[in-house]
Structure 1
Amino acid sequence: MGSRAAGRQVRPPLRRLTAGLGRGGTMDTSTGKTGTQEPRPQTRPAAPPSRPVILGLLLGIVLATLDGTVVGTALPTIVGDLGGLDHLSWVLTAYLLTTAVSTPIWGKLGDLYGHKGSYLTSITVFLAGSVLCGLAQDMGQLIAFRALQGIGAGGLFVGALSLIGTLLTPAEAGRAQSLIGVLLPAALIGGPLAGGFLTDQLDWRWVFYVNVPVGAVALALVGLGVRLRAPRVRARIDLAGAGLLTGAILALTLLASWAGTTYPWSSPRILGLALVAALALAAFVRVERRAPEPVIPPRLFHDRNFTVAQVISFVTGAAMLAAASYLPQYMQFVRDMSATESGLLLLPLMLGMMGAQLVIGRRVGDGGRYRGYPVVGGALAAAGALALLTLGTDTSAPVASGLTLVLGVGIGCLMQPTMLITMNSAEPRDMGAASGTQTLLRTIGGSLGVAVLGSVYTHRLAATVTDRLGADGTRLTEAELTPELLRELPAPVRHAFRTGVVDGLHGVALGTAALCAVAFAVSWLIREVPLRTR
């Protein structure tokens, strides 16, 4: 760390997002030996990337994020058209599985054979999957094509981040990354709204077809606007590492999807998945230490800042997704709101995240320090999560909505610096692997966070309702109760169930606060290493 930081200088304040690009010549193209031939770092372009190029990269991130949420509101219509209700969940699960599995592999392929080519290929695969999903004639075809779409989506996010890390130095990339921080929550909110609108006004198939013009624009902007020399390598793909990582991710994703809902945590299936994941991860670590070109290079974790940033990304992903998943339950069951209204009432949470990331990106881009933001963010996020304990059955909707603002600001202060630290800690040859690792850990953290805190929510809800209603409460919690059905029940039953929802949300809030406290504690280990200007 010390030798790397010694020659760095802090860049003068940025006046524009792309100011000063291309003034430092090319990147260091020295090579090293790893058993075959070390890939040469991707050469910096001679001209600065234009704003349309940045837009093309951001569009890929929008596509990947939006398509993970846009399908949800269209699912009832899809089932009515195609049938296959018993396979409904796999329309979402297949996409999430293949996205998670392919993310680190796309990142490594970009490091070996060129980030631009990898990014354009992933968009092409994603668009092909989108068209095929729109043409699907039965649920089996839709699930298979969603899996193909997910494979392409895995390369969109990591490809965009890798290209930003190649085209811009860490000191220059702050503002571009802050825009990513704005797009993520916007896509999370806008996905269900866009899905409902397209389904109602056109047809559910347009939920997939709409990706084609957006993806075509991204292909044109990046394909014509980015000039990078692809490295020429003779490297063997780490097939063993890719296979073991795929197995571990599959097991963890299925565990997160099924545990506490489809199967109890103590069931043989869930315990078996946990064992498979643990064994696959242990074997993966051993293989990566010996592979000439590992999927996730162990050398990345020799940098303390990189390791700390990945821990923060994991717990932040868990805290963010858990809060965003279970707060709507309170809005719909306790405050008797529609799904759209409950989503809109989460705007303070999302606006807090977006505002914090924009401010941090601008301040760091103007030469400011970044170490203090994760520390403050962890404290704010923990305090914001604990503030949710004040929610009750009689809390007004505006107050309940406003309480999420502090949590959102705290999470934003955690997310933005971790992206900067990840890029600053990785050498150019490992930019794709570093971006893929962070994206993967945030995704897995979110999945496991929703699963574990979801079990806490369900347990506390069931315990409270059963305590108040006895055997009738047990039957009530085991039924598939919707907000519409709850309105038809007697007043005492409604009150008991709403009290249970509040108790369940309090359990989620305590778990979220604990995760944020971990992020706060770990953030103190970050070193203020100046951002690279070359």
Structure 2
Amino acid sequence: MPLTAWRLRLLMISLLTVSFLGALDHTVVATSLATIAGDLGAVQQMSWVLVSYTLASTVMLPVLGKLGDLLGVRLIFLASLVLFLVASLCCGLAQDITQLAIARVAQGIGSAGLHLMPQTIVGTVVPPRERPRVLSIIGAAFPVAILVGPLLGGVITDAWGWRWVFWINIPVGLIALALAVIAVPHVPGHSGRRFDIAGAVVLGISVTALVLGASWASADRWVIGVPVIVAAAVAAVALAVFILIEVRVSEPLVPLRHFANRTILICIVLSTVIGVGLFSVVSYVPTFVQMAYRTSATVSGLVPIATVFGMLVSTLFTGWLASRSGRYRMFPIVGTALAAGGLLIMAFLPPGLPLWAPMVAMALVGVGTGAFMNILVAVAQSAAPRSDTGSVTATVSLVRQVGSTTATAIVGGVIGAGVALGLPAGLDAATLTPAVVHASSAAVQAQVAELYTAVLSPIFIGLAIAYAVGIVAALLLPNRRLSDHFEPEPVPTAESATV
């Protein structure tokens, strides 16, 4: 049943608040990480504060998506929010790194629901044509959180202490919970269907091994040691077993029929391109700018800000356009082309140019990515049976997150190895910081700038190629129009992509 105008507005406010809460948590905590680790006396283990959260949120995406289909999105959404708030309380009460890591696992599970369920709810209660506009508004929480999160985390840590980085979630979350109880409608699930426990366990093992292996390889500057080989083998074997399970069970966790549907498959490819092409490198751009353009940390932050701001404006504008026209194919075509062009510009920028040059280039990447980031979720949902809305939404999100995590580790390892091999005499890669470089002679600074440019240029070219693959994929999207009304439950076939 369509929602009334006031109910839809209330729902959008509720989902936007929850999405912002989930997106903000990661960026706020990252700023406070050093303080947290020092206070708990666990500097060497501080990465587990992030790794435990990321692993839990990634592994639980397909599980929560399927549970939403079976039990109803409202129940999973409210349960995720409650778990997130309870885990935030426990994080702030943690007395050592072990307690904090365990609480972060629970918080990561809740965060997966906060990220996934708003999109699934939109796919369940909003007609296909309106979804790009609504999803773009909710999706705006992500770039806004990137912009304000680091500053907010620093302010809270300095003013109230690091525990309030977690506790601040509670009053905001309680308001969001009250709104959600009122605004999120009751949508019945398909409780007669069985949950794929074996598939969930095996996929969890595969994703965990993949993420851990990539993290270990990155930490060792992409030296392929025994732990990395074992992790890669476990991930590959578990993935093969998972596929065998999904082929045999009646209700698979990730229905493989999605991959036989051209529209859904292309949306999955495009989502992977976003994770690999943008999210893998954006965290390294400030260091690159500090070294290659010899700026301060504060000034270097202008480049990712330009990227995120471009993404924010683009996602809102294109979401509105897509809902207005019902057409969607042009947005990923233009978006991937713009992003590929921005990355190619970054690859060939000579060091020493004014800072506005990389800002413009990375803004192009942000505008291009934002042009289709949320639209492809709406398109994938419209191409799937309504009973699979949660699982198809989760699949699109999962491949983006796994692609981002894996590619980030690879990019970090390549940068670390390349810089270590080419550093001028007298500089140690283990203790290299922008401050050390800026305190060196002008000749050494110029050498380091050239080195970082030489190391990052092939990476930017490689990521531009990833977006070029996205251009080809986008050209293969069916040129259809999003429907103004809910479609009847389609019969799943190889081309049940009538959107």
Distance 1:183 1:233 in 2: 32
Closer, same or farther: CA 129–340 of 1 in aligned 2, 3 Å: farther
Q: Which residue of 1 aligns with 2:476?
A: 525
Closer, same or farther: CA 47–185 of 1 in aligned 2, 3 Å: closer
Q: Which residue of 2 aligns with 1:508?
A: 459
CA displacement at 1:333 relative to structure 2: 2.6
Deviates more, 1:338-347 or 1:423-432: 338-347
Aligned pairs for 1:177-326 within 5 A: 177-231=135-189, 233-262=191-220, 264-326=222-284
Distance 2:4 2:187 in 1: 11
Closer, same or farther: CA 236–411 of 1 in aligned 2, 3 Å: same
Distance 1:457 1:519 in 2: 24
One of 39, 42, 46 as aligned partner of 1:81: 39
In the alignment, structure 1 residue 493 sits paired with structure 2 residue 493 = no
Which residue type is aligned with residue 432 of structure 2?
L
One of 119, 124, 146 as aligned partner of 1:166: 124
Under a length normalisation based on structure 1, what TM-score does the superposition of the two structures give?
0.87
Aligned pairs for 1:80-479 within 5 A: 80-231=38-189, 233-262=191-220, 264-465=222-423, 469=424, 472=426, 476-477=428-429, 479=430
Distance 1:507 1:193 in 2: 32
SS class of match (2:372): helix
SS class of match (2:480): coil
Distance 1:263 1:356 in 2: 35
Distance 2:78 2:173 in 1: 10
SS class of match (1:71): helix
Distance 1:344 1:494 in 2: 21
Which residue type is aligned with residue 335 of structure 2?
G
Closer, same or farther: CA 80–451 of 1 in aligned 2, 3 Å: closer
- Residues 222 and 410 of structure 2 are in contact (CA less than 8 Å); yes or no, is this contact kept in structure 1? no
Which residue type is aligned with residue 79 of structure 1?
A
CA displacement at 1:255 relative to structure 2: 2.1
CA displacement at 1:218 relative to structure 2: 1.7
Which residue type is aligned with residue 65 of structure 2?
G
Segments of structure 1 that go 5 or more residues without pairing to the other structure are 1-20, 23-44
- Residues 335 and 371 of structure 2 are in contact (CA less than 8 Å); yes or no, is this contact kept in structure 1? yes
SS class of match (2:220): coil
1:434-471 C-alpha deviation (Å, 9 max, x unpaired): 11111111101111121222233233323432xxx35x
Which residue type is aligned with residue 463 of structure 2?
T
CA displacement at 1:193 relative to structure 2: 1.4
Q: Which residue of 1 aligns with 2:435?
A: 484
Closer, same or farther: CA 232–252 of 1 in aligned 2, 3 Å: closer
Distance 2:277 2:172 in 1: 31
CA displacement at 1:340 relative to structure 2: 4.0
CA displacement at 1:211 relative to structure 2: 0.8
1:269-288 C-alpha deviation (Å, 9 max, x unpaired): 11211111111111111101
Distance 1:377 1:46 in 2: 33
CA displacement at 1:198 relative to structure 2: 0.7
CA displacement at 1:429 relative to structure 2: 0.7
- Residues 221 and 414 of structure 2 are in contact (CA less than 8 Å); yes or no, is this contact kept in structure 1? no
Distance 1:340 1:209 in 2: 27
Which residue type is aligned with residue 267 of structure 2?
A
Which residue type is aligned with residue 458 of structure 1?
G
1:23-59 C-alpha deviation (Å, 9 max, x unpaired): xxxxxxxxxxxxxxxxxxxxxx688733121111122
SS class of match (2:7): coil
Q: Which residue of 2 aligns with 1:11?
A: none
Deviates more, 1:53-62 or 1:241-250: 53-62
Closer, same or farther: CA 349–47 of 1 in aligned 2, 3 Å: closer
- Residues 79 and 88 of structure 1 are in contact (CA less than 8 Å); yes or no, is this contact kept in structure 2? yes
Which residue type is aligned with residue 248 of structure 1?
S
Distance 1:424 1:235 in 2: 22
- Residues 18 and 173 of structure 2 are in contact (CA less than 8 Å); yes or no, is this contact kept in structure 1? yes
CA displacement at 1:338 relative to structure 2: 4.2
CA displacement at 1:336 relative to structure 2: 4.0
Which residue type is aligned with residue 54 of structure 2?
L
- Residues 339 and 367 of structure 2 are in contact (CA less than 8 Å); yes or no, is this contact kept in structure 1? yes
Distance 1:47 1:401 in 2: 39
Which residue type is aligned with residue 209 of structure 1?
W
Under a length normalisation based on structure 2, what TM-score does the superposition of the two structures give?
0.93
Distance 1:180 1:232 in 2: 26
Distance 2:295 2:253 in 1: 46
- Residues 174 and 420 of structure 1 are in contact (CA less than 8 Å); yes or no, is this contact kept in structure 2? yes
Distance 2:317 2:187 in 1: 34
Sequence identity of aligned pairs in percent?
36
- Residues 136 and 374 of structure 2 are in contact (CA less than 8 Å); yes or no, is this contact kept in structure 1? yes
SS class of match (2:218): coil
Distance 2:356 2:325 in 1: 38
Q: CA RMSD in A?
A: 1.9
